[in-house]
Amino acid sequence: MITVALAKGALLKDSVARFAKAGLDFSSILDPKNRLLMVPSSCGRARALLVRNGDVPVYVAYGQAQLGIVGFDVLNEKQMPVANLMDLGFGGCRMSVAVKETSGYKSAVELPHHCRVASKFTGCARRFFDDIDLPVELVHLTGSVELGPLTGIAEAIVDLVATGQTLRENGLVEIEELFYSTARLIGHPLSLRLDDGLIQNVIETLQSQKYSSSET
């Protein structure tokens, strides 16, 4: 039996749809009345674990799930020992540096040395600022990161941006993009090596879906 880790939230509906096309139907997990965190597929060949986005690579890394779908932002932040198998192409957003519109900064390298930068993604932020050789103090926030520059706790933020509307409504502007994040199919390396063909069949079906979508 295959165990798949699926993230609650924005990626869930598309993730369920992709696996359904690969023959693993977890559609019951989308039922608003569902309270199960471990949901069997209708075919009986697999089950899905419904977990928080940040926990998907953890379950896969420890082998409690053989496959999972997670945003590249989380994958990059967690740096877990999992196989990054495929870019699924949905759930797109940018990881960006943003500042107050009135700050005058046009790029990240213009930020003052040792300034404070607020983020939920401090790992991604640290690697980025190290790469551009700019020493900063990172402030870890778990929500409403946009408040950082508005309250003065930070000069800038590093956060995910989809449409940019929340930034604009709060007087913030993007000045640099770290990377573009999409949903990724990940796998447990040992499970992939020991696979009797069942996991590989699912992966190949998902790959064929991707190529079919790109050709249309």
Tokens of 164: 């940019």
Co-location of 85 and 188 in the same domain: yes
In this structure, which amino acid lies at residue 165?
A: Q
Co-location of 57 and 82 in the same domain: yes
CA angle 42, 47, 48 (to 5 degrees): 110
Contact predicate 145/157, CB 8 Å: yes
Co-location of 35 and 84 in the same domain: yes
pLDDT digits (tens, 9 = 90+) for 122-154: 999 999 999 999 999 999 999 899 999 999 999
Segments forming the whole domain that contains residue 29: 2-91+182-215
Co-location of 125 and 138 in the same domain: yes
**SS3 (DSSP) at 184:** strand
DSSP state of 202: H
Co-location of 210 and 189 in the same domain: yes
CA distance 134 to 114: 8
pLDDT in tens, the chain (216 residues): 899 999 999 999 999 999 999 999 999 999 888 888 898 888 788 999 999 999 999 999 999 999 999 999 999 999 999 999 999 999 999 999 999 999 999 999 999 999 999 999 999 999 999 999 999 999 999 989 999 999 999 999 999 999 999 999 999 999 999 999 999 999 999 999 999 999 999 999 998 876 555 444
Helix axes 12-21, 198-215, angle to 10 degrees: 110
Number of domains present in the structure of the chain: 2
DSSP state of 10: T
CB atoms within 10 A of CB 61: 18
CATH of the domain at 118: 3.40.190.10
CA distance 80 to 182: 17
